Structure 1
Amino acid sequence: MKLLKLFVLMCSVLAAPAFAAGDAQAGKAKSAACAACHGPDGNAPAAMYPKLAGQGAPYLVKQLQDFKAGRRDNAVMKGMVAGLSEQDMQDLAAYYASQTGTTGQADPQWVEQGERLYRGGDPAHNQPACSGCHGPAGQGVDAARFPRLAGQHAEYIEAQLRAFRAAGRNDLGDNVVKRTNDADGDAVGMMQTVAAGLSDRQIRALASFISGLSE
């Protein structure tokens, strides 16, 4: 049932309308305020912040829209996007999508487990492979707004998986950081469902492996 639900959710996302193209040159000028955290070219120097370089524009637009609408909760980003217009979001997304992302380095102790989970999932526990949505090389799927993962900071990936896991479980208190902006209406979102079954060790292994992926 879990895999069937994920398939239905994937189909609904794939059917989402296409995004209008932004102006990358205009986005570069508008990105000055973003550089302190995400770097001048979108390759964030600090591991707690996501790399935006090479990320799919539709995914980036959705995240900016979600921050502004309160569907994704982050105090810093809420302030940053408050004054952005839809065109600003499109332009910023186009700029970062045009940049080249850097590759990190996976911790050797986690590579085998991380690769196994990423490419094959855990069938015994009905856990799907990450590559099914994010691609074998972590390149993502722009049309479906599935993000590029290749080379992303392990610390950031781990934090997001934990936040999705917290949102997908019912036994955690309100003081736990949760991420719910993958939800489709009132349904539990795809990433919440996937992450809910991951252990701490699995999350650490996946995050480390993903950081070393390159397209």
Structure 2
Amino acid sequence: MNVLARSSLWRLAKDESKQVDEPNGSIEQDIRVQDATVNSPNQNQFEHFVQTLNSDNANVSRMERKIEKMESQIATLVEQNNQILAKVKRISDKFQTGLPKTEFPIKTIEELSEIEAKVTENYDKYVDLFRTILAPEGVKKHMSRILSTSILMSMNYSGTGSKTGLNSYVNLNKCIYDSQKRDGYTFADYVQDVRRAFAKMKNKVYKAKTFAKQALRAEKKEECEKDLKKLVLPGSS
């Protein structure tokens, strides 16, 4: 075969090879176009995305406005609460300032004399006051609300045995009796209740003192026993 013939055959083979390769290249190009079409959002999808984003932004804005409104309401409530507390404090301070000095229980003979004078000047007021102080069980149970233990031990009703007598404070006694007066309750009943109240209160004090002495003796005895145990007897070492 001459050179011309071989050249013709080579060109023919090359052309056939191109014809075979071209369909594959076209298919690959079509696939790439389809992939690009699938992966790239169309106009509707883009608009939907934008609408969703705008909706989310609007929700966030509404939430921020709600939070700001709630914060404003909370601040208003706090301010109102502070104003109420300040007003309550002013009322309380004014009320405390207007309260009379505590008069009971009476602690000294001097205070007892002062109360006698005050009762004389404002009898009805103290009748109501004693009625409140001695409620609900009266003189027998609550005499300690009028006379403290410190003055009680130096007194009795009739003033016997160098004691100060409650009966010498006439207006005070009558006022206390009137605060407790009821059907069938006489002044003699009142005096008896006062005597019983004195006895009960003094017995309570005596018992407390006795108990304290017994406790002190027991404590000293225990200390002595401990000290004895610490002693070393002769010949015991």
Q: Structure 2-normalised TM-score?
A: 0.20
> Which has the higher relative contact order, 1 or 2, with Cα contacts under 8 A spaced 6 or more apart?
1
Pair member with larger Rg: 2
